[in-house]
Amino acid sequence: MTETLTLLTSILTITLRAGTSLIYGAIGETYTERSGILNLGVEGTMLMGAVTGFATAYYSGSVWLGLLVAMIVGAALAALHAFLTVTMRANQVVSGLSITLFGTGLASFLGERLGPASNNYNLVGMIGPRFSPLAIPGLSEIPALGAFFKQDLLTYALFLLVPLAWAYLYKTRNGLNLRAVGENPQTADAMGIDVIKTRYLYTIVGGALIGLGGAHLSLAYAPGWAENITGGRGWIVIALVIFAMWNPARAVLGAVLFGGINAVQFRLQAGGTTIPSAYLNMLPYLITIAVLVAMTWWEALSHRIGAPAALGTPYMREDK
């Protein structure tokens, strides 16, 4: 009995650690999409956040400074996306893809260029300061639930951020305006809400959170920067937003599900299973597809549409 409990605690601990970057990303993307902007640049933005965050922390010795830089970089990439799609009316899908392609290439270049001369300018393999797990005395001893209390500061911050993100979206005037812009920009505009400003603002805020999610990977989850450290997490974030039906609180459930897959995979591999690791590693991607199919089907059956009605469409007010 105690053995099962220990196993459960350990799986839950890894689940939360693996899910943290996903939750930050999912909240960011939820806010972006709620304004009507689809940002497919998450993967590239997370990579840029991870590499710049780690490089900053490595040279300055401050994880907080690293975090700040990652957020600024994420915000800047999102601002670029907003400029292309809102102001220049570019196709949102292609613009997001271009942010991902650009971010992926640039992150890999920076990873090979920002390192110390002694390591041939390579950042891969360098050890820098990290957010280490901080066990809360007492609480972390509780069986199973203790997993929530042996996390790093960025995971603890989520205990506050998730309810706040939910309350802001559903319980405040600003949140109502944001949802209005995503559902029906024409009406929102008529109500006196600045559609353009709203879309810029929440795309940029979303980008900062996505960058922060990326930095969690290189500053807490993994021991440092590694090429392609995200491994598709940026895309899983986008799937999570759909899974959570654009609700930041529900994104947690999804992130725990995907973090849980990671954790189980990890346990199975450590336990020496006969299943080839390639098949285990496929799980998160296959499950993402399965979840998407199930969600889409369920939405169609129950006539519930979770997506903001104006998602992906540019807003143009030709006159006035």
Q: Which residue has the tokens 């951020």?
A: 161
Considering only the stretches 11-19, 129-137, 175-183, 184-192, report the one whose residues sit in contact with other proteins under the rule CB under 8 A.
184-192
Binding residue (CB under 8 A) for other proteins from 187, 194, 223, 273: 187
48: tokens are 């840029």
What are the angstrom distances between the C-alpha of 47 and each of 57, 156, 190, 235?
A: 15, 22, 39, 12
- Least distance in Å: CB of 202 to other proteins? 20
- Is 242 one of the binding residues for other proteins (CB under 8 A)? yes
Nearest to 136 by CA among 145, 127, 123: 145
Question: Would you say 114 or 219 has its CB closer to other proteins?
Answer: 114
Rounded-to-5 percentages of helix, strand, coil across the chain = 70, 0, 25
Q: Which long-range contacts (CB under 8 A, 24 or more apart) does 62-69 make?
A: 62/129, 63/129, 63/130, 63/131, 63/219, 66/128, 66/129, 66/215, 66/219, 67/154, 67/212, 67/215, 67/219
In DSSP terms, 135 is beta-bridged to: 150
Cα separation of 117 and 114, whole Å? 9
Question: Would you say 7 or 300 has its CB closer to other proteins?
Answer: 300
Query: Could you give the string, one character per residue 114-143, with x where binding to other proteins holds by CB under 8 A and - elsewhere?
Result: x-----x-----------------------
296: tokens are 């889409």
- Least distance in Å: CB of 263 to other proteins? 19
Cα separation of 88 and 90, whole Å? 6
Binding residue (CB under 8 A) for other proteins from 5, 139, 289, 305: 289
- Is 235 one of the binding residues for other proteins (CB under 8 A)? yes
Considering only the stretches 90-98, 129-137, 157-165, 253-261, report the one whose residues sit in contact with other proteins under the rule CB under 8 A.
90-98
**3-class SS of residue 77:** helix
- Is 184 one of the binding residues for other proteins (CB under 8 A)? yes
- Is 238 one of the binding residues for other proteins (CB under 8 A)? yes
Considering only the stretches 24-32, 199-207, 214-222, 235-243, report the one whose residues sit in contact with other proteins under the rule CB under 8 A.
235-243
Considering only the stretches 59-67, 127-135, 162-170, 234-242, report the one whose residues sit in contact with other proteins under the rule CB under 8 A.
234-242
Q: Name the residues that contact other proteins, by CB under 8 A.
A: 40, 80, 83-84, 88-91, 93-95, 97-99, 101-106, 108-109, 112-114, 120, 184, 186-187, 190, 231-232, 235, 238-239, 242, 276, 278-279, 281-282, 285-286, 288-289, 292-293, 296-297, 300, 310, 313-320
